[in-house]
């Protein structure tokens, strides 16, 4: 296996966006009620779900890189009848020729006939782990997240997410005939929040599964800005599903599910997501880039002082603007709501943690300039984090303890440190030019407010992120779901670079 050069390590592209989506897709595809349809939402079932299990293989380009094991078990908790759904996702892959493994284990126990659920999730990769557990009662989730040796309390309104017997259904069952379509309630695979979905049965097709011919109906489903194609058997259970970014899920037998090759001969997880441009070759370090974007409406692209879209055209211009070198405008020029968000802490950006606050204070010292503080934090994160692919949920505390990660880890830690130091910061997800890949790859970076939002990139060691960055989504990790509409669709023609 070829090792990664130091230059390549500085340009690692994060896989968190894809992995979040894949894990949630696995949850959504699980047929909790034996494959029944979901048109329309029905009241709670009169009987408990039946026990059952299934295996789905995860494939890239025909090669298997992982397994999803899904299990449903009726069972009581504290005398209450209910049922538990368990999900176990294991991936063995390469990311820029570095072996990487991920395990995501999740369980949801839901009370029968009552709005009560218990949720447990653990994501781990190498020595990294983030664990969450909590109880949902009458639409309120109360729990904790454990990361980096600390426990962070969490409360959130989740509405009707854990109510009704259609909790985990993604697609209507076999009842849709070719040419028929329908809308129904489902779950956004990025946010796990209720979201409208649309399904359309496009054809009937026979698939070979384990030497057996299985009649299926092919249903295209759009939810949360992304589309999935699923092949359903006569019971409505998923036989095969294709994602918009080159990953395929296929039903496996028990014996086949247990056999999984090592990561050394696995394909690169992110290879299918590279966007090879046409036109002029991009230049790392460019201060201006003009590109023609096709495949997706430009209206989907966020704009700001750095990234603009030509009115009525298809041209995107990225032109980073340097902040002034003297007086930096006060962060108080931000609207109150936006300022609170840009300085706020949460379960993964733990800027109120004692460890994060202490490290931020050591980095910025007595420096009072907002921009100078951002530069000091950028330089520290770049210098002190080993550039390594980490396929896990990025947590600032975990990254501070491990001192390693790819772009998502760099961005989350920078954001926590900067906010702890009083620097308004938000996160961006999008594409960046990689000379090693010869293509644009998916990437994350922070933005700081210094009178205007200014892009910076601690993964690449750039105080001002260069013009080869193309922003697709802005906000926290929960906002990166907006990237889904671009996966496998966006095309880039570079018109100008300088």
Structure confidence at residue 463 (pLDDT): 95
SS3 label, residue 416: helix
| DSSP sequence for 208-236 | EETTEEEEEEEEEEEETTEEEEEEE-TTS
pLDDT at position 97: 59
Domain assignment of residue 464, given as a range: 273-497
Same domain assignment for residues 95 and 39: yes
Smallest CA-to-CA distance from 130 within 95, 154, 111, 162 is with 154
What pLDDT, in 10s, does the model give residues 378-412? 999 999 999 887 766 778 998 999 898 888 899 99
CATH code of residue 341: 3.10.620.30
225 and 365 co-located in one domain: no
Per-residue pLDDT, 171? 43
Q: Do 253 and 340 belong to one domain?
A: no
Contact partners, residue 382, CB within 8 Å, separation at least 6: 410, 458, 459, 460, 461
155 falls within a domain: no
| Residue 354 dihedral angles phi and psi, to the nearest 5° | -60, -40
At 434, phi and psi to the nearest 5? Answer: -120, 120
In degrees, rounded to 5, the angle at the alpha carbon of residue 486 between the alpha carbons of residues 319 and 471 is 25
Is 387 part of any domain? yes
Domain stops at, among 265, 285, 320:
265
Work out how many domains the chain is built from and give that number: 2
The DSSP call for residue 244 is T
User: Do 387 and 251 share a domain, yes or no?
Assistant: no
Rounded CA-CA distance 281/494 in Å is: 7
Extract the runs of DSSP E, i.e. beta strands, from 49-168.
52-60, 63-74, 82-95, 98-111, 116-125, 128-137, 140-147, 150-157
Check residue 263 and give its pLDDT: 47
**294 and 250 together in one domain:** no
Asked if 390 contacts 405 with a C-beta cutoff of 8 angstroms, the reply is yes
Q: What is residue 167's predicted lDDT score, i.e. its pLDDT?
A: 36
Q: Which residues of the chain have a pLDDT value below 50?
A: 1-46, 164-174, 189-192, 263, 325-329
| Same domain for 210 and 229 | yes
The answer to whether 37 touches 236, Cβ cutoff 8 Å, is yes
Nearest-angstrom CA–CA distance, 297 and 216: 33
Residue 127 in any domain: the answer is no
Residue 171 within a domain: yes
**Domain co-membership, 340 together with 425:** yes
Measured CA to CA, the distance from residue 469 to residue 473 in angstroms comes to 12
In a domain, 457, yes or no: yes
**Domain termination site, one of 265, 284, 302:** 265
Residue 193 resides in a domain:
yes
Token representation of residue 348: 């993964």
Question: Measuring CA to CA, which residue among 139, 166, 137 is closest to residue 49?
Answer: 166
Q: Record the tokens describing residue 446, joined without a space.
A: 């922070």
Q: For residues 268 and 264, what is the distance between their CA atoms, to the nearest angstrom?
A: 10
Nearest 10 degrees: Cα torsion 354, 358, 360, 366: 140
146 inside domain: no
Same domain, 314 and 207: no
Helix, coil or strand: residue 346: coil
Q: Are 441 and 352 found together in one domain?
A: yes
Do 179 and 93 fall within a single domain? yes
* Position 1 in a domain: no
- Does 294 lie in the same domain as 259? no
The phi, psi pair for 481, rounded to 5°, reads: -60, -25
Domain boundary at 265, 291, 312, which?
Answer: 265
pLDDT at 183: 77
Does one domain contain both 171 and 55? yes
Q: Tokens representing 249?
A: 């899920």
């Amino acid at each position: 296996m070829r090792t990664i050069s130091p230059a390549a390590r500085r340009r690692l592209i994060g896989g968190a966006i894809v992995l979040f989506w894949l894990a949630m897709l696995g949850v959504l595809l699980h047929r909790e009620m034996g494959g029944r349809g979901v048109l329309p939402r029905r009241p709670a079932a009169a009987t408990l779900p039946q026990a059952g299990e299934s295996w789905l293989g995860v494939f890239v380009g025909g090669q298997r890189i992982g397994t999803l094991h899904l299990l449903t078990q009726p069972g009581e908790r504290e005398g209450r009848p209910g049922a538990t759904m368990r999900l176990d996702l294991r991936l063995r892959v390469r990311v820029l020729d570095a072996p990487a493994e991920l395990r995501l284990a999740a369980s949801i126990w839901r009370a029968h006939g009552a709005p009560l659920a218990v949720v447990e999730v653990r994501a781990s990769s190498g020595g990294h782990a983030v664990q969450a557990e909590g109880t949902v009662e009458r639409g309120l989730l109360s729990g904790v997240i454990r990361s980096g040796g600390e426990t962070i309390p969490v409360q959130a309104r989740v509405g009707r997410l854990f109510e009704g017997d259609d909790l985990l259904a993604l697609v209507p069952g076999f009842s849709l005939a070719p040419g028929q379509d329908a809308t129904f309630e489902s779950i956004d695979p990025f946010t796990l929040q209720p979201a409208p979905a649309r399904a359309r049965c496009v054809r009937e097709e026979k698939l070979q599964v384990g030497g057996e011919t299985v009649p299926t109906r092919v249903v295209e489903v759009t939810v949360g800005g992304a589309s999935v194609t699923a092949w359903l058997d006569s019971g409505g259970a998923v036989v095969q599903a294709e994602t918009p970014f080159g990953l395929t899920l296929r039903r496996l037998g028990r014996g086949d599910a247990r056999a999984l090759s090592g990561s050394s001969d696995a394909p690169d997880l992110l290879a299918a997501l590279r966007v090879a441009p046409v036109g002029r070759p991009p230049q790392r370090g460019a201060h201006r880039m003009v590109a023609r974007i096709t495949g997706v409406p430009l209206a989907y692209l966020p704009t700001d002082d750095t990234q603009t879209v030509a009115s009525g055209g298809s041209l995107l211009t990225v032109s980073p603007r340097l902040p002034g070198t003297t007086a930096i405008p006060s962060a108080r020029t931000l609207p109150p709501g936006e300022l609170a968000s840009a300085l706020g802490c949460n379960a993964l950006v733990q800027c109120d943690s004692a460890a994060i606050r202490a490290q931020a204070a050591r980095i910025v010292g007595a420096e009072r300039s907002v921009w100078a503080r951002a530069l000091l934090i950028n330089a520290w994160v770049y210098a002190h984090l080993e550039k390594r692919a980490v396929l896990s949920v990025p947590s600032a505390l975990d990254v501070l303890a491990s001192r390693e990660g790819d772009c998502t880890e760099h961005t989350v830690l920078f954001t926590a440190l900067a906010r702890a130091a009083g620097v308004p910061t938000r996160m961006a997800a999008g594409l960046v030019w990689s000379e090693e890949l010869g293509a644009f790859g998916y990437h994350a970076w922070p933005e700081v407010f210094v009178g205007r939002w200014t892009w910076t990139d601690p993964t690449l060691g750039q105080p001002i992120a260069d013009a080869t960055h193309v922003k697709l989504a802005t906000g926290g990790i929960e906002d990166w779901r907006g990237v889904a509409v671009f996966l496998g669709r966006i095309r880039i023609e570079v018109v100008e670079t300088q």
